[in-house]
Amino acid sequence: MGGREAGFQETMKSLLQQPIGRLLAFCLAIGLLCFAVWRFIEATAPPDHRAESLFRRVVFAGSGLFYLGLTALTLNMTFRNTHFQSGSDEAAREWTGWLLELPGGGALAGATGSALVIGGMAILAGGCKRHFKSNVALHAEAPAFLTALGRYGLIARALVYAEIGGFLIYAAFSASSREAKGLAGAFRSIEQLNYGGVILSVIAVGFMAFGAYEFGAAIYRDLNPRRVKYDP
C-alpha cells in the first residue's frame, strides 16, 4: 500500500481501484459471509454442554458477528461506492471517543481492552497447547505442517490482538481516544521497535500462515467434537 500500513478499509480501497476490483471484492464478501455462517454453525452444533465448549461457542458466535459486519462493510463499499475517509486507526479512535463519553465509559473501554488482551492470551494458549489437533478438532491424519502453520498463525494473531487491547486499556486510563489504535496502528507501533521491521515481517508471515492453515483445516476438521481424540 505505497509503504503504509493498511487496515481493512485501506485494503478495500486499494482493491476497488483495480480493473476487476469490484468482482474480487464481491468474491471476498461471499467468502466472509460463508466464514460467518461457519462460525455460527460451530457455535450451535452439535450439542455439547461442557463448560469449555460453552465458552468456545460464545467466542465462535462473537466471531460470526464480527465477520458478518465485515461482510456488510465490504458489500457497502463495493456496490454503494462508499469510501470511508477514516482508516482503521481513526475508526478505532472515533469508537473509543464515543465509548468514553458514555456514563462509565472509561470502565467499558477498559473492560473491552481487557477482553481483547484476555482473548489474545487465550488464542496464544491454544496455539501452544500440546494436543493442538484435538483442541482445534482436526483429524488425526492431518499433516504435521498444517499443525505448524496453525500454531504459528495463532501466536502471531494473539500478539497483535493483545497489543490492540493494551492500547485500548491505556486510552481508558488516560481518558484519551487518541491512544487507541487499530490494526494498522498496531503494525506501525511494532515497526518502530528495535528490529521492528524484522518482527513485523515475522508477524505478517504468521498472518499468511494462518490463512493457509484455514484452507487445510477446511479439509481436515471434524465437525463432531465427540469423535475427536487427543493426539499423541
Q: Encode pLDDT of 97-106 as tens digits.
A: 777 787 887 8
> What is the SS3 assignment for 26?
helix
* pLDDT less than 50: residues of the chain: 1-4, 85, 228-232
| Phi, psi values for residue 221, rounded to 5° | -75, 140
Which pLDDT value is given to residue 205? 92
Which pLDDT value is given to residue 168? 85
| Phi, psi values for residue 138, rounded to 5° | -95, 145
Q: Is the separation of the CB atoms in 36 and 69 below 8 Å?
A: no
Which pLDDT value is given to residue 226? 55
Which pLDDT value is given to residue 102? 78
Query: What's the pLDDT tens digit per position in 108-119?
Result: 888 888 888 888
Which pLDDT value is given to residue 74? 79
DSSP state of 221: B
Tell me the C-alpha distance between 133 and 140, whole Å.
7
Question: Rounded to the nearest 5 degrees, what angle is found at the Cα of 190, between the Cα atoms of 7 and 206?
Answer: 70
Which pLDDT value is given to residue 47? 61
